[in-house]
């Protein structure tokens, strides 16, 4: 087995990943120790034979050996596998080679203890480990555990024989395992590392079957060729392979009891009987431990939750909003559950699920279920076909015909996840709304706490109370106002207006945009889409509390409010803006892209970065605004403005546009541009005789609150008058 072969594997997998859009991600690498190690891995595809050794070599430079099905050892593929140090499962020397190499730590080993591909991912029955394979039904094989135990037992026995000068026993071990002396043995004891491979976004597609088998070897068996074709269609269509290395299991811990028992019966039983005593029961307990660790370390993703809910629901149809809220509650609950591994997509952007069917992971999962005939849509109602769901399928074809069932089966061993799904779908609509409101508000608070804690120590750290998002609730939940602050500012900027609106009976949510309200450095790497995610969380919290949602903001907040109105047409009753910039007065901002390109060039030439920041010395609110501005932040401001301009025509919600006549930051013509381009039938333009940009603080907050309140009363009463050019 050569280094060049490993590098070739890396090159091949990298090319496949780039060309066919599959990503491989590793986690748990800190669990790996410099000790003789047997990696035990769940088995779903043949590609795992290459993937696990490749990941280990890439991240740790370990060259490991592994077993593969005998049917793959033909043609080019067979020769390549042998060059990688892979042994056939039918090789008569395999067990001896594994034990010897673990004893000496010549190589670590990778074994797939399930005894075959578990194509259905069905591994549990009534809470117990039980594999249902075509050739057998029952518990996983104990062979991997036996080999690890035997390696440790034989290592100890050989050392003991050398120490006491037992020539016969020493010769036995030396001839059996090709040993010369005790110094060859690994100093440290063997560990087993349970390794879990989780596939995200598996999608079966008969039309896209790759001719991978013919490329790898025409002499493969028909079954092996078909499996490789099927797996090619599953994996190489935007999927992600997550490899997680769990906590190592000490073999010593499982040997202490049996060794003591063997000593007590020494002289009464034969050597073979003592071996059986040591191995049989111990191997079963060890196997149960590492298999449970493998299955419980599945990285839970959105597909898991959706497919498990779909296949376990006790009803034939479910309202779309109820489905989305229940999935959100289940996912949010899991994110707070210690010990459960969560895919990053459930942490970031999940709130988009509550906005409707535009959430891409939901669209993808629904498309999968519809293609399999399990699901139909009637308006916003999901109808489940019980007959299709209950149909028995062939084990070998399940990955093509019922991927939803395969994905649901994988979640079954993760008890916390299945419990979270069942509990969420047992809640009433009112309970779900309340849970969603609480969860989204807490997510916003946790995000702020995390960001603020990370910024502690920064000389420019904002006052804590200024940066916190706020929620001002009203006894009457009829109307909720989503209020968005401006660029370089924080929620405190909108607080006077929020207090005035709350005093008029409205629930008000003061959003904190990502990167704001903490320290300027946190704004340097933020993208404008993250500002939209901040708004989505707040919108979800309000939507679960209030019947009508009105979204509004000042400056950048107004731009994002317009963008939100374009995105969420059915969920927004109205939108208002205050000095929203369609065009800025500072012509120097046009050169931001050029300066950023210069920065990139300067860094590549190891020159000093002269143009990364600038002083925000023109701010009207130095007590609450950042005094430092980053060019990267200005770039995102420009991008948000451009995205808003493109979508103005999509806005149909009633709109109130307010503008200072002598705004020093925003060109006053911006307001009239907005009014002209939006498609709303009810749109009001109100101009204020003011020369300030931030006109929502101080003397103007009360009349502005009155103007907004009048607008809300009109739209909630169903009035549709169109007015222009009002002056308060």
**Tokens 């050029």 belong to which residue?**
594
Q: What mean pLDDT is predicted for residues 47-63?
A: 87
> How many Å apart are CA 88 and CA 73, to the nearest integer?
7
Residue 266 exposure: Cα atoms within 13 Å on the Cβ side: 7
Please tell me which residue, 236 or 171, carries the higher pLDDT value: 171
Give the strand pairing for 381-384 and 375-378.
Answer: antiparallel
Give yes or no: residues 163 and 115 share one domain: yes
> How many Å apart are CA 118 and CA 132, to the nearest integer?
8
Nearest to 436 by CA among 532, 342, 354, 323: 354
**Domain end among 406, 427, 448:** 427
Q: What mean pLDDT is predicted for residues 351-380?
A: 88
Which residues 6+ apart lie within 8 Å of 254 measured at CB? 149, 282, 285, 286
> How many Å apart are CA 426 and CA 411, to the nearest integer?
18
Q: What mean pLDDT is predicted for residues 532-553?
A: 90
The answer to whether position 728 is within a domain reads: no
Give yes or no: residues 210 and 311 share one domain: no
pLDDT per residue as tens digits for the range 657-699: 999 988 888 888 999 999 999 999 999 999 988 878 888 887 7
Give yes or no: residues 421 and 504 share one domain: no
The number of folded domains in the chain is 3
pLDDT score of 1 more than 70: no
User: Which CATH number do you get for residue 477?
Assistant: 3.40.50.1820
> How many Å apart are CA 519 and CA 515, to the nearest integer?
8
The answer to whether position 75 is within a domain reads: yes
Please tell me which residue, 173 or 481, carries the higher pLDDT value: 481
Give yes or no: residues 465 and 513 share one domain: yes
Average pLDDT, the chain: 84
The answer to whether position 686 is within a domain reads: yes
pLDDT score of 13 more than 70: no
Q: Hey, which of 120-124, 309-313, 417-421, 441-445 has the most confident mean pLDDT?
A: 417-421
Give yes or no: residues 338 and 278 share one domain: no
Q: What mean pLDDT is predicted for residues 265-290?
A: 69
In this structure, what token pair is assigned to residue 569?
């047409």
The answer to whether position 412 is within a domain reads: yes
**Domain end among 380, 401, 427:** 427
> How many Å apart are CA 250 and CA 564, to the nearest integer?
54
**pLDDT score for 19:** 57
Give yes or no: residues 336 and 482 share one domain: no
User: pTM of this prediction?
Assistant: 0.83
**pLDDT score for 256:** 73
Give yes or no: residues 254 and 353 share one domain: no
The answer to whether position 721 is within a domain reads: no
Distances (CA, A) of 623 to 12, 126, 369, 460, 500: 56, 62, 54, 11, 21
Give yes or no: residues 400 and 533 share one domain: no
Give yes or no: residues 182 and 55 share one domain: yes
In terms of C-beta density within 10 A (0-12 exposed, 13-18 middle, 19 or more buried), how is residue 605 classed? exposed
The answer to whether position 557 is within a domain reads: yes
**pLDDT score for 503:** 94
Give yes or no: residues 229 and 101 share one domain: yes
> How many Å apart are CA 64 and CA 704, to the nearest integer?
70
Domain range enclosing 71: 3-296
**pLDDT score for 117:** 85
The answer to whether position 726 is within a domain reads: no
**pLDDT score for 702:** 81
Give yes or no: residues 535 and 419 share one domain: no
pLDDT score of 611 more than 50: no
**Domain end among 427, 454, 472:** 427
Give yes or no: residues 284 and 322 share one domain: no
**pLDDT score for 587:** 53
The answer to whether position 116 is within a domain reads: yes
Q: pLDDT class for 723, splitting at 50, 70, 90?
A: very low
């Amino acid at each position: 087995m050569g280094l060049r072969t490993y590098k070739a594997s890396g090159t091949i997998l990298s090319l496949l990943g780039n060309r066919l859009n599959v990503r491989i991600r590793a986690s748990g690498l800190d669990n790996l120790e410099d000790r003789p190690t047997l990696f035990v891995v769940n088995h779903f595809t043949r590609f795992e034979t290459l993937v696990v050794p490749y990941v280990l070599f890439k991240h740790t430079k370990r060259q490991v050996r592994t077993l593969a099905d005998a049917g793959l050892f033909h043609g080019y593929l067979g020769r390549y596998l042998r060059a990688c140090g892979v042994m056939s499962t039918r090789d008569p020397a395999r067990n001896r080679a594994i034990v010897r190499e673990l004893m000496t730590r010549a190589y670590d080993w990778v074994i797939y203890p399930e005894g075959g591909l578990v194509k259905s991912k069905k591994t549990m029955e009534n809470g117990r480990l039980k594999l249902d394979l075509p050739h057998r039904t029952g518990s996983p094989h104990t062979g991997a555990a036996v080999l690890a135990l035997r390696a440790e037992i034989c290592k100890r026995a050989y050392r003991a024989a050398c120490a006491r000068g037992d020539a016969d026993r020493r010769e036995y071990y030396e001839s059996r395992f090709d040993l010369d002396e005790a110094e060859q043995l690994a100093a440290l004891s063997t560990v087993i590392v349970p390794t879990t491979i989780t596939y995200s976004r598996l999608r079966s597609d008969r039309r896209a079957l790759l001719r991978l088998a013919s490329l790898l070897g025409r002499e493969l068996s028909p079954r092996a060729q078909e499996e490789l074709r099927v797996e090619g269609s599953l994996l190489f269509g935007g999927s992600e392979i997550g490899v997680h290395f769990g906590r190592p299991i000490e073999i010593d811990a499982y040997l202490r009891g049996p060794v003591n028992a063997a000593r007590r019966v020494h002289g009464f039983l034969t050597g073979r009987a003592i071996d059986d005593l040591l191995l049989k029961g111990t191997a079963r307990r060890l196997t149960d431990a590492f298999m449970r660790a493998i299955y419980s370390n599945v990285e839970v993703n959105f597909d898991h939750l959706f497919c498990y809910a779909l296949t376990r629901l006790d009803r034939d149809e479910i309202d779309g909003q109820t489905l989305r809220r229940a999935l959100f509650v289940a996912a949010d609950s899991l994110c707070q559950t210690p010990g459960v591994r969560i895919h990053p997509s459930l942490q970031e952007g999940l709130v988009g699920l509550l906005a409707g069917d535009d959430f891409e992971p939901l669209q993808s999962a629904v498309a999968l279920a519809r293609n399999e005939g399990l699901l139909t849509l009637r308006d916003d109602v999901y109808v489940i076909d019980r007959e299709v769901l209950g149909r028995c399928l062939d084990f070998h074809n399940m990955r093509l015909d019922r991927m939803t069932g395969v994905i649901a089966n994988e979640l079954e061993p993760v008890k916390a996840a299945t419990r979270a799904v069942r509990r969420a779908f047992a809640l009433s609509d009112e309970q779900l709304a309340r849970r969603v409101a609480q969860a989204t508000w807490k997510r916003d608070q946790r995000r702020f706490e995390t960001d603020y804690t990370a910024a502690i120590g920064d000389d420019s750290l904002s006052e804590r109370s200024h940066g916190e998002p706020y929620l001002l609730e009203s006894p009457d939940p009829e109307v909720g106002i989503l209020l968005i602050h401006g660029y370089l500012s924080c929620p405190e900027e909108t607080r006077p207006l929020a207090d005035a609106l709350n005093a008029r009976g409205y629930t008000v949510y003061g959003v904190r945009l990502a990167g704001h309200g903490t320290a300027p450095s946190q704004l340097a790497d933020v993208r404008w889409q993250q500002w939209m995610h901040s708004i989505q969380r707040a919108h979800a919290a309000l939507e679960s509390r209030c019947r009508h949602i009105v979204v509004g903001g000042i400056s950048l907040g107004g731009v994002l409010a317009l963008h939100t109105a374009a995105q969420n047409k059915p969920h927004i009753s109205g939108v208002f803006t205050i000095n929203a910039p369609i065009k800025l007065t500072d012509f120097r901002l046009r050169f931001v892209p050029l300066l950023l390109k210069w920065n990139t060039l300067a860094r590549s030439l190891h020159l000093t970065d002269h143009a990364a920041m600038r002083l925000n010395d023109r701010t009207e609110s130095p007590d609450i605004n950042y005094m430092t501005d980053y060019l990267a932040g200005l770039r995102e401001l420009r991008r948000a403005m451009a995205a808003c301009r493109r979508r103005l025509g999509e806005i149909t919600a009633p709109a109130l546009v307010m503008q200072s006549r002598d705004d020093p930051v925003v060109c006053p013509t911006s307001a009239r541009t907005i009014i002209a381009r939006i498609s709303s039938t009810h749109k009001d333009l109100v101009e204020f005789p003011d020369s300030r940009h931030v006109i929502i603080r101080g003397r103007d907050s009360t009349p502005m609150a009155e103007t907004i309140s009048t607008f809300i009363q009109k739209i909630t009463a169903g009035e549709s008058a169109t007015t222009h050019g009002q002056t308060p």
